Amino acid sequence: AGFSVTTSADAPLAVGVDWAIDTILKDDKIGRVRILDTYTGDEGDAIKVSYTAPETTYTMIKALSETTTEGFMRFVSDNPVGTQQELQIWRASLTPSGDTAMIGDDWSTLAFSGEILKDETDHPDSPYFNIIMG
């Protein structure tokens, strides 16, 4: 995927000097362009961001229109001591179950209530979940 940041007159700006991309996921699929303190232009300058990206599909839960989502769920441990574990839940249903403060001094939390559902069709020998320990 191509990505560039330029002035409104198409003069290139330097990555790591004028701008950077802050990503919030390990796979770099979601992020934002941040203008750095070392930006060589003037405050208030117009900039242009251009990019090409492969077609991608996302699942979006729209507030108050889809209150439950159902699908495969995986938890992977990152224990500092002892064995690592992976929990594979074939079908789980999650519903938000509380308020979340998006603005504040504390870490935001979002509570869910969930249900593990039976999947005898695709997993007849273990219809709810597997735990892999290593």
> Higher-confidence residue: 12 or 53?
12
C-alpha–C-alpha distance, residues 104 and 98, integer Å: 16
Cβ atoms within 10 Å, residue 13: 21
| 116 has pLDDT over 90 | yes
- pTM of this prediction exceeds 0.75: no
User: How much is the pLDDT for 113?
Assistant: 94
Contact 72, 92 (CB under 8 A): yes
User: How much is the pLDDT for 93?
Assistant: 96
**How confident is residue 122, by pLDDT bands cut at 50, 70 and 90?**
very high
- Positive or negative, the CA dihedral 45, 46, 52, 58 is positive
Q: Is 26 left (phi over 0), alpha (psi -120 to 50) or beta?
A: alpha
Main-chain phi, psi angles of 35, to 5 degrees: -80, 130
User: How much is the pLDDT for 124?
Assistant: 96
End-to-end CA distance of the chain: 37
C-alpha–C-alpha distance, residues 100 and 111, integer Å: 8
pLDDT digits (tens, 9 = 90+) for 15-69: 999 998 877 656 666 677 888 989 988 888 899 998 887 787 877 767 667 788 8
pLDDT digits (tens, 9 = 90+) for 41-52: 888 889 999 888
Domain ranges for the chain: 3-51, 69-133
User: How much is the pLDDT for 117?
Assistant: 97
| 1 has pLDDT over 60 | no
